[in-house]
């Protein structure tokens, strides 16, 4: 990918003078950074987003700024990407911020919270609704800044060995669930556990856990969950539009020339758009294959959804009373989400619902 092609494709509008003056890039220093990730290389969606970002940076700087990407476990374990970036072991880490809720539940807003915004609203809040400013103010405590660098869209509710008929079926259930939403499961009597993507299959196969969620049909199929659990639930109410971040060590970020900072920001935005499109391309066919192979698709019942919603609101209210950072970001997110969904109810919901009802009329 040529430098100008990347800038055009990303739709990011670097200053015209910078684009037209290759001498600017030529005068920049040669840098080699490392980006650890929380993903196995087999996931060409998640790890692929980190690779897309790194390649875009190289293309936009005539290879003067190179970023080498590493799968989880190659430098540090997948769930230590933030720590490695914060302490300077690596310059960057591509991850889901909610993995680090144990340090502070405010991290969850950098990815998703239960019954939070969908992909569109999360992105709108981050870019234009004060989300980025609120999150970066918080991230500074950990010596990093965050760049939105991916989104999975609404996720699935996970793979279960047995059917879930009522909220009582969650009691005692050993459930691999990513990050902060596990605390909602715990309020309902479940036993949440956080396991990196590459370690989920053996845990589910051995019965160490009873159920597991990851992302959606394409990634889940690659990780083989359908081989050891046949009941596939939806929706993932804890991940309505999960954002992924590239954390950058704050000291390293501040040492970058402004031109390189702009390139990295725009490369992250490009990776974000790429990942959304990639999931929209791959998930439909993967779901068809899973169902054809014997996977049983189930919706969480309205009663289960209502109980989970109530537990989530109670949890968020409890934390807001004692954690000022959490409350500040939570209030900011809700202020953007509520009118956003009111608007979606008018046009988006009605149009999508109509089209879904009339899929049979679409040629092909």
pLDDT tens, 284-299? 999 999 999 999 999 9
pLDDT at 313 over 60: yes
pLDDT at 13 over 50: no
CA distance 318 to 26: 53
pLDDT at 16 over 60: no
pLDDT grade for 15, boundaries at 50, 70 and 90: very low
Q: Which residues pair with 67 in a beta bridge?
A: 33
Q: Chain-wide mean pLDDT for the chain?
A: 93
Per CATH, is 3-153+240-281 categorized as 3.40.190.170? yes
C-alpha atoms less than 13 angstroms from C-alpha of 179 in its C-beta half-sphere: 31
Q: Looking at residues 266-277, what average pLDDT do you find? A: 98
How high is the pLDDT of residue 197?
Answer: 81
Q: Looking at residues 133-144, what average pLDDT do you find? A: 97
23 CB-near residues (< 8 Å, 6+ apart): none
pLDDT at 23 over 70: no
Q: Which residues pair with 247 in a beta bridge?
A: 93, 146
Q: How confident is the model over 237-268, as pLDDT tens digits?
A: 999 999 999 999 999 999 999 999 999 999 99
For 15-19, 74-78, 113-117, which range has the lowest pLDDT when averaged over its residues?
15-19
What is the reported pTM?
Answer: 0.91
18 CB-near residues (< 8 Å, 6+ apart): 24, 259, 262
Are 125 and 131 in contact, with CB atoms under 8 Å apart?
A: yes
Q: Looking at residues 5-13, what average pLDDT do you find? A: 47
Q: Which two tokens stand for residue 38?
A: 């929380």
Percent of the chain with pLDDT over 70: 93
Domain parsing of the chain, residue ranges = 3-153+240-281
**Type and span of the H or E element at 149:** strand 144-151
Q: Which residues pair with 249 in a beta bridge?
A: 144
How high is the pLDDT of residue 1?
Answer: 47
pLDDT at 331 over 60: yes
**Type and span of the H or E element at 70:** strand 65-70
pLDDT grade for 19, boundaries at 50, 70 and 90: very low
Q: How confident is the model over 201-234, as pLDDT tens digits?
A: 999 999 999 999 999 999 999 999 999 999 999 9
């Amino acid at each position: 990918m040529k430098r100008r092609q990347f800038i055009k494709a990303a739709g990011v509008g670097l200053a015209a003078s910078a684009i037209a003056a290759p001498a600017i890039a030529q005068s920049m220093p040669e840098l080699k950074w490392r980006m650890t990730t929380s993903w196995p290389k087999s996931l060409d969606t998640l790890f692929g987003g980190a690779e897309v970002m790194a390649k875009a940076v190289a293309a936009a700087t005539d290879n003067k700024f190179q970023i080498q990407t590493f799968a989880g476990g190659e430098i540090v374990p997948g769930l230590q990407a933030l720590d490695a970036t914060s302490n300077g072991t690596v310059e960057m880490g591509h991850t889901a911020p909610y993995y680090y809720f144990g340090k502070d539940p405010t991290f969850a807003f950098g990815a998703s919270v239960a019954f939070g915004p969908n992909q569109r609203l999360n992105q709108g809040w981050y870019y234009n609704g004060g989300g980025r400013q609120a999150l970066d103010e918080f991230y500074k405590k950990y010596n990093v800044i965050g760049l939105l660098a991916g989104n999975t869209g609404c996720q699935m509710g996970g793979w279960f060995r047995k059917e879930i008929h009522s909220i009582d079926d969650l009691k005692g259930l050993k459930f691999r669930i990513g990050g902060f939403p596990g605390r909602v499961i715990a309020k309902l009597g479940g036993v949440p556990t956080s396991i990196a993507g590459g370690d989920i299959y053996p845990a589910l196969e051995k019965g160490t856990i009873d159920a597991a969620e990851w992302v959606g049909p394409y990634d889940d199929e690659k990780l083989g969950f359908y081989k050891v659990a046949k009941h596939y639930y939806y929706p993932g109410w804890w991940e309505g539009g999960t954002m992924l971040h590239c954390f950058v060590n704050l000291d390293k970020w501040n040492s970058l020339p402004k031109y390189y900072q702009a390139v990295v920001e725009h490369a992250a935005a490009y990776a974000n758009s790429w990942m959304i499109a990639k999931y929209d391309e791959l998930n439909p066919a993967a779901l068809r294959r899973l169902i054809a192979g014997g996977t049983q698709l189930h919706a969480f019942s309205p009663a289960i959804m209502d109980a989970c919603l109530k537990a989530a609101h109670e949890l968020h209210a409890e934390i807001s009373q004692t954690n000022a950072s959490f409350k500040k970001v939570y209030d900011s997110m809700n202020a953007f989400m509520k009118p956003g969904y009111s608007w979606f109810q008018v046009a988006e919901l009605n149009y999508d619902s109509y089209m879904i009802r009339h899929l049979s009329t679409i040629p092909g």
